[in-house]
Amino acid sequence: MSTNATLPLFPPIEPYRSGTLAVDDRHTIYWEECGNPQGQPVLFLHGGPGAGLSPKHRRYFDPAHYRIVLFDQRGAGRSTPLGEYRDNTTPLLIADIERLRTMLNIERWLVFGGSWGSTLALAYGQAHPEACSGFVLRGIFLCTPEEIDWFMNGMRWFFPEVHEEFVRQIPPQERGDLLQAFARRLFGDDEAACLRAARAWGRYEGSCLYLLPQPDLVDDFATETTSIGVGRLEAHYFLNAGFFSEDQLIRNVGRIRHLPAVIVQGRYDMVCPPLSAYRLHQAWPEAAFHMIPDAGHAGLEPGIARALVTATEQFKLQGRFY
């Protein structure tokens, strides 16, 4: 494992196998495998929705031990079509995961997800507990109306200048419902307006991820590929409440409470505030719970990354998390 105190991850690795999987007539998803082909299977679920994969996502896991499976969800990253929100729902993403598991001939896997990835991990586990050996969850997002309103409006209490830039292109008379105002642009026929709205959305989110400013990351979130995936798909899922019933992920925790889990949360997470992680732990007291005192939202915050790697190491050594 790297001894770099600021980035406590395993060294960079490349996939030993990758490919695409047509999951329906509209969507084709990109997938890859890294690490040990005979190792303990682990599934990485990226955030967003729509953020896609990064090479750093492979590095939370010991490649000598784990068979690491990663994929770009519908409409994200190298999956096609980019930013496509039609035929894109949580039940369909869950079905995609099961198709991938079956194709790769994996019986059970450790499920690892942060932010929206934690949402999808919980939803997948509750639908298919028999396919899961445990969970590592970070930056919990339960996709409740309160969390969505916080993202669209509440973050201005801490990032007023960032929020002002976010809403600048929306006329004042439309700002009473920012989500609908952005949706009209993100899903409209004007491609230039769509890209402007997507870039504004990406810059807004990217500016709020870390405890300390990360200008390069903000620029990454404002690129066309990332912003189109994130802006369109986050708006789509927000508009549909994640395709969940009221408080579904908390109500159904009983389906996975028998499985080992660790929850990692940044104390100063402005994108997914700590109350959601606390609520999840209250519903799932058997899960280990780590509140990182000097971290925001991002999985690459040093304290969060260290806790995540510690979790995967303990699942490796003990088969469960104590």
Please give the positions annotated as active site: 115, 269, 297
- Extract the runs of DSSP E, i.e. beta strands, from the chain: 17-22, 28-35, 40-45, 66-71, 109-114, 132-138, 261-266, 288-292
Instruction: Name the burial class of residue 1, with classes exposed (0-12), middle (13-18) and buried (19+) by CB atoms within 10 angstroms of its CB.
Output: exposed
Task: Count the residues in the chain.
Answer: 322
Phi, psi of 211 (to 5 degrees): -65, -40
Instruction: Name the burial class of residue 165, with classes exposed (0-12), middle (13-18) and buried (19+) by CB atoms within 10 angstroms of its CB.
Output: middle
Assign 32 to helix, strand or coil.
strand
Asked if 71 and 95 touch (Cβ cutoff 8 Å), the reply is: no
Beta-carbon neighbour count of residue 128 at 10 Å?
A: 17
Beta-carbon neighbour count of residue 57 at 10 Å?
A: 22
Contacts of 283 (CB under 8 A, 6+ apart): 250, 253
Give dist(CA 5, CA 196) in Å, integer. Answer: 38
Assign 211 to helix, strand or coil.
coil
Please give the full DSSP string across 136-190, using - where no structure is assigned. EEES-----HHHHHHHHTGGGGT-HHHHHHHHTTS-GGGGGGHHHHHHHHHTSS-
Strand 261-266 to 132-138 pairing: parallel
**Closest residue by Cα to residue 234 from 46, 91, 23, 51:** 51
